[in-house]
Structure 1
Amino acid sequence: MADNPIDLDRLTEILKRAGAETIMPSFRNLEDGAVREKSSAIDLVTEADEAAERFIKTEIDRLSSGILFVGEESTAKDRSLLDKIADADVAVIVDPIDGTSNFAAGIAMFSVMAAVTVKGEVVSAVVHDPVTGDTVRAEKGGGTYWLLANGDSRKTRVNWPVPLDESIGIVSSTYFEPKARSALFRRLDQVRVVANYRNSGHEYRMLATGGCHFNLYGQVMPWDHAPGTLLVSEAGGHVAFADGEPYHPSRHHGVLVSACSRQTHRSVTTKILGIERPLS
């Protein structure tokens, strides 16, 4: 198991407290003016996002002054943070509310997420659901565990691979170019069930705990994917960009596919994305 510079129990507790103290009091209770658009009508930020990120950053700063903090809202103000991940001795990448649109609409499907990186490699991750109190977390080389709110803990595994026409896939088409999106839609009839929950934390949890067979994303900001990809990898899945390159949080472009097996990954890239390449 990889050395983890931040105690995983401590990180988990920070995210749980952020959920209980700064997020849940505002859920279905947002005041007028508490929700703002960032880049578009589907790219939102709320006062709870900002409060949660401030809370988490304060707690992380207490652990060590040498930790690079890369939060979604912090990066909106300082994009240079993205360029520092690859070389940082230790970085914590945070999405204070993943699924802000759901949160703002009063839909109980959002997450608080964090990943720890060492020289750009993800070594641990936590995805916490403040509504149910459940947490799924992983350490590199140590497996993925589902911590239930009642105190029970279980090790998770991805689902068994099945033919593509029997598979359950989660597909986020939002950030595909129009022509690529149209081509993607035409090929999705090869999948048995296609879903999108607008919450990558929940979607990665589903894949890591056997609830689906693959996830496909056209935008790869690190706070959306660094935590979940480790959950999937440590649960026995295969994560790579459609061009075959392994996931790395310092890469911010390309189509990312996470799957329950290498063969499922290949089926998605060739049959759904139309990309022919050797099986890696």
Structure 2
Amino acid sequence: MTLTTTQIDALIAETRRVAKEEILPWYRKLDDSEIDTKAHAQDLVTKADKASERELTRVGRDILPGAVIVGEEAVSDGSVKLDVLKGADQALIIDPIDGTWNYANGINTFGVILAVVEKGETVFGLLYDPLGDDWVMAERGGGAVFGTPAGDVRPAKARAPRQINEMTGYWPPAIFNAEQRSRMYDFAKVIDRHSSLRCACHEHRLFAQGGADFLLTANLNPWDHAAGALIAREAGGYVRMLDGEAYAPTLTDGNLLIAPDADSWRALADPLRMAVFGA
């Protein structure tokens, strides 16, 4: 069940439209009553998240008839269960605003993520930047590309491998516990630099375009990482779970580690396993 060019073009066009109509008009214009919390005080949801997910869900059903729709906010409110991904012939995963904390606080680092999963495998991923109105996308087996509405399309390629002391990468320290953070800061002494954008969309975009050497995730939310993992692989990266197992968008536990190649991944994995697992 392969996506057609028409379906891919429609997903991109509708993502752009929804961002213009439901996301950008509220940027830096929300009041406190239009921002709520979910799992904890830093886990935010806004009226724009909800409105854009509703509209992307509606058009997703038209573009991909019969597909299961899994939206971050629908899972959060309990109206959709993540388990539906495991048995779905085709599913559309939606992150209506990735980096909601940034969006709600007026920081220009947020995006929209779409992934299409067929029988447990990601076959299409889109990382869209509403402010830049551009995207990084990949089809399974088709390579990763950067695209714009003007037709500027160019390959997205992971950075060439380098020594571990020259590496820069992303991980979200606040999501790890205190003991893990302490060990990870020890690990940070052997690399060049680490950071967190509070936005998986842009961290995955940076990796796929050669702007970072690695990504380590603290969770496996498919709306955060299914698209990015496919795009990283299609950009030439090496994508595995930190324990060495293969990544799949149906996994719910563990940590994903992405690096430019297998040797770089192995150089990072051993010290990061010690940091995350303590053994």
TM-score (norm 1): 0.94
Q: For 1:193 and 1:18, how far apart are their aligned partners in 2?
A: 36
Partner residue, 1:11: 11
Report the 3-state secondary structure (helix = DSSP H, G, I; strand = E; otherwise coil) of the residue aligned with 1:113: strand
Supply the distance in 2 between the matched residues of 1:44 and 1:61 (Cα, whole angstroms). 26
Question: Residues of 2 paired with 1:167 and 1:215: CA distance?
Answer: 11
Measured in 2, the distance between the counterparts of 1:145 and 1:193 equals: 26
Residues 234-255 of structure 1 deviation map (CA, whole Å, 9 limit, x = unaligned): 0000111111111111111111
Counterparts of residues 28-47 of structure 1 (less than 5 Å): 28-47=28-47
1:264 aligned partner: 264
Summarize the alignment of residues 3-152 of structure 1 with structure 2, pairs less than 5 Å apart.
3-4=2-3, 7-78=7-78, 81-152=81-152
The one-letter amino acid paired with 1:99 is: G
Letter in 1 for 2:141: G
Q: CA deviation digits over 1:107-157, x for unaligned, max 9?
A: 111000100010110000111100011111000000001003543110111
Maintained 8 Å contact 1:188/1:272:
no
SS in 2 for 1:112: strand
Q: Is 1:153–2:153 an aligned residue pair?
A: yes
Shift of 1:65: 4.3
Residues 64-119 of structure 1: per-residue CA shift (max 9 Å, x gap): 44110000000012276211112201100110000000000101110001000101
Separation of aligned partners in 2, 1:186 and 1:13: 45
Q: Paired residues, what number? A: 274
* Aligned-pair CA distance for 1:174: 2.6
Is 1:255 the equivalent of 2:259? no
Instruction: Tell me the secondary structure at the aligned position of residue 131 of structure 1.
Output: coil
Aligned pairs for 1:97-246 (under 5 A) are 97-246=97-246
Looking at structure 1, the residues matched to 65 and 123 of structure 2 have their Cα atoms a distance apart, in angstroms, of 19
> What is the aligned-residue identity percentage?
35
Structure 2 residues without counterparts, runs of 5 or longer: none
- In structure 2, what is the Cα distance between the partners aligned to 1:116 and 1:12? 12
Q: Secondary structure at the match of 1:274?
A: helix
For structure 1, the residue ranges without an aligned partner over 5 or more in a row are 276-280
Change (3 A) 1:83 1:205: same
Q: After the TM superposition, which segments of 4 or more aligned residues of structure 1 sit over 6 Å from their partners? A: none
Higher alpha-carbon deviation: 26-35 or 266-275? 266-275
The answer to whether the Cα contact below 8 Å between 2:11 and 2:63 also exists between their aligned partners in 1 is no
Letter in 1 for 2:71: G
**Cα contact 1:174–1:218 (8 A) shared by 2:** no
Report the AA paired with residue 32 of structure 2: D
SS in 1 for 2:201: helix
Partner of 1:116, secondary structure, is strand
Tell whether the 8 Å contact from 1:220 to 1:253 is kept in structure 2 after alignment: yes
